[in-house]
Amino acid sequence: MSRPFSQVDVFAPGPRPGNPVAVVHDADELTTEQMQTFANWTNLSETTFLLRPAQPEADYRLRIFTPSGELPFAGHPTLGSAHAWLERGGVPRDAGTLVQECEAGLVRLRRAEVLSFAAPPLRRSGPVEADVLKQAVASLGVDPDRVLGANWVDNGPGWLAVRLASADDVLALRPDFTAMGALAVGVAGAHPAGGPADFEVRAFAPGHGSAEDPVTGSVNAGIAQWFLRDGIVTGGYTVRQGTALGRDGHLTIAPEGDTIWVGGTCRTVISGTVSL
């Protein structure tokens, strides 16, 4: 049976690409096995499936798959799928806000200059255990003296984050993915004043079937919660990600009250139908 299909590039405001997500519409009749098989076939970091919501507050329900498994939440698939849903005529209950239902719960999005999602609560936060941090730092191949801190920032995919002394340290990383194993590691370092963004970020998740994710909403949401909570930043900031992969991802972090909004541009690059 044929279903509408979109492939959306997320977090790329300029001519160079960001992070693509494959979106299958009207997926209510598909089985989990069919979804997983298709996600494995696309071989993108995430493939999503739009379904009717089960909760009355939600505008739609989203299931998110990597090539190897299902995720309760992920950032760039959330934005790209919302963009695709709106583009195909989806009408939210509130004109300025969308509510996505996913395994992690209800996620709010807002429509302004760019789409943004509200960072979901962390499933795990706080200091990283010494043995886990030692494994993460060793797998990154970074001098421990360049590590300024680390924290669990897990909002679904299992992220821990490491803060390095500079953006150049982040860009110089050449990880050992065998040593990293099942860890999902985000790394951030500050650019100097006047740089292309406030922070450079990279995200490594070999256990999810994507050794390095080009641009990652979920890890940036978690890092923002850590940075704001601990006073590493005191307000909004910008992130560049994907540079090491030839991408040009840019994200905005905008705290407002108790909510942290993570935003970026979206554009559909492929539309059509798929047979599943």
Instruction: Return the pLDDT at 16.
Output: 84
Instruction: Return the pLDDT at 64.
Output: 97
Q: Which of 46, 101, 200, 212 is catalytic?
A: 46
* Domains of the chain: residue spans and CATH: 2-121+263-275 (3.10.310.10), 124-252 (3.10.310.10)
pLDDT tens, the chain, 276 aa long: 899 999 999 998 878 899 999 999 999 999 999 999 999 999 999 999 999 999 999 999 999 999 999 999 999 999 999 999 999 999 999 988 999 999 999 999 999 889 999 999 999 999 999 999 999 999 999 999 999 999 999 999 999 999 999 999 999 999 999 999 999 999 999 999 999 999 999 999 998 877 999 999 999 999 999 999 999 999 999 999 999 999 999 999 999 999 999 999 999 999 999 999
CA atoms within 13 A on the CB side of 217: 34
Instruction: Return the pLDDT at 208.
Output: 82
Residue 102's DSSP bridge partners are 105
Contact 254, 261 (CB under 8 A): yes
Instruction: Return the pLDDT at 69.
Output: 94
Instruction: Return the pLDDT at 34.
Output: 97
**Amino acid residing at 125:** S
Instruction: Return the pLDDT at 161.
Output: 98
Paired tokens of 189: 């370092």
Sign of CA dihedral 75, 78, 80, 82: negative
| 3 state SS for the chain | CEEEEEEEEECCCCCCCCEEEEEECCCCCCCHHHHHHHHHHHCCCCEEEEECCCCCCCCEEEEEECCCCEECCCHHHHHHHHHHHHHCCCCCCECCEEEEEECCEEEEEEECCCEEEECCCCCEEECCCHHHHHHHHHHHCCCHHHEEEEEEEECCCCEEEEEECCHHHHHCCCCCHHHHCCCEEEEEEECCCCCCCCEEEEEEEHHHCEEEECCCHHHHHHHHHHHHHCCCCCCCEEEEECHHHCCCEEEEEEEECCEEEEEECEEEEEEEEEEC
By the 10 Å C-beta count (0-12 exposed, 13-18 middle, 19+ buried), 184 is classed as: buried
* 46 catalytically annotated: yes
Instruction: Return the pLDDT at 1.
Output: 82
Instruction: Return the pLDDT at 112.
Output: 85
Give dist(CA 107, CA 25) in Å, integer.
Answer: 19
> Could you give the C-alpha distances from 136 to 128, 130, 220, 224, in angstroms and in order?
10, 10, 18, 20
